[in-house]
Each structure stands twice: as structure tokens, then as C-alpha cells.
Amino acid sequence: DTGVSQDPRHKITKRGQNVTFRCDPISEHNRLYWYRQTLGQGPEFLTYFQNEAQLEKSRLLSDRFSAERPKGSFSTLEIQRTEQGDSAMYLCASSSAGGRETQYFGPGTRLLVL
Amino acid sequence: KNEVEQSPQNLTAQEGEFITINCSYSVGISALHWLQQHPGGGIVSLFMLSSGKKKHGRLIATINIQEKHSSLHITASHPRDSAVYICAVRWRGSNYKLTFGKGTLLTVNP
């Protein structure tokens, strides 16, 4: 399967712990996006990479959040000192360059902070 | 504030019924997406459109740019169509960021 993959699929952690999620985009896609989705809501944009460059970060992404895409391929999203309000589904998507490309979504990582 | 509104929030139908889900947005867009999300989280892109109408199998998506409105229709609905359907827009002037509606939970009973 050459779709977008995310790891882990589920994560339960205690408040105050750090967590890291990984996203592997479709191999030829140079654009990568992170979204967060809470229960009953649509996804919200967190950040966007074009190749290895992080071109935009939402104000939703507090200082406790950091995302990287070191070689322009996979990406990681780290949350430090997790809070209960961080509990959500974290979705990754990728797309190819171009004016009107479709974004392909991964299965998401569901985070529960106790 | 740029907003995307979907209606209804919840929709229950009997198998075979014709389904319509609506999406309205506040300002000009360059593209609108309809997405499907099944329990467990995975999102699948159904359509991307900027004008007119697109059809894929039993699914039809239409958009009226002047009225800032789009509809997703499902003909001959089936229980496997049960999912959350999400409308997302790319605002004019943005070439990547999507703003999503809250989604419509569709349940099709046999």
C-alpha cells in the first residue's frame, strides 16, 4: 500500500509526558500537512511543509508542539508536557505540488491524555 | 471570519433513499472538497471541485459559486454509506490550506 501512513495509530499517555507521532507521506508528494480533530469537529490545520521547509504554523500550535520533516520525506509531530486538552485525533495528509492538488489523508493517530 | 457550515449535522435514512448534504461558505474559494470519514478516523477524498458538477458512482457533487454553496448527493443509499461527510474549502489566495466544516454524520439503516 503506497498511501499515507501514520504511527502509532493509538497513544495513551499521562499528563506531562512527551509524545511523538510519525507520518510517512506518499513517496512522490512534496507537501505534507498536520491537522488536529477533536470529537464532533472537523479537522483543524496545524502546520504545513513543502519539502523540508515548514512554511506555516497555526496559532493552535503552542510552544509545546514541534514538527519536523528533516529530509523532506517523513515528518514527526512532538507534543511536550501533554495536557488533557491535547487529546484528539492527529491527522497527516500529503499532496503533490501544483495549483489544485488533492490532499491524501493518513489513518490518523488518536491521542488520549489521562 | 472565513467559515464553512454544513447541514444537517446528523442524518438518518433508510436504505435506498436519496441523500443530500449541504455546505455553505463565507467568501470566495479556489476549490471545495468533499471527504468521507469512517469510524476509526481515516479520511478519504471523494471530490474536489471548483465549478459545476462531478459524479462518481452513486455520488454526485455540485457547486454554485455565486451562491457559495455546494451539495453532496447519494443516490440509492446503502448502509455502507454510513460515515461522516466533511466539506472543506481552499480559500481564494491560498494554494494549500483547507478549512473544514464540522461534518455530517450519516446513518443509513437497512
Q: What are the E-state strand segments in chain A? A: 5-7, 10-13, 19-24, 31-37, 44-50, 53-57, 65-68, 75-79, 88-95, 104-105, 109-113
With a cut of 60, say whether residue A107 has pLDDT above it. yes
- Answer whether B41 sits within 8 Å of A56, measured CB to CB: no
* Among candidates A35, A41, A93 on the partner chain, residue whose Cβ is nearest the Cβ of B102: A41
Q: How far is CA A22 from CA A39, A77, A78, in A?
A: 21, 7, 9
**A33 interaction partners in chain B (CB closer than 8 Å):** 96, 98
Which of A3-17, A25-39, A92-106, B81-95 bottoms out in mean pLDDT, i.e. has the lowest? A92-106
Q: What is the pLDDT tens value at each position of chain B, 110 positions in all? A: 669 999 999 999 999 999 999 999 998 888 999 999 988 768 999 999 999 999 999 999 999 999 999 999 999 999 999 999 999 999 887 768 889 999 999 999 99
Chain B within 8 Å of A33 (Cβ-Cβ)? yes
- Decide which of B18 and A97 is more confident: B18
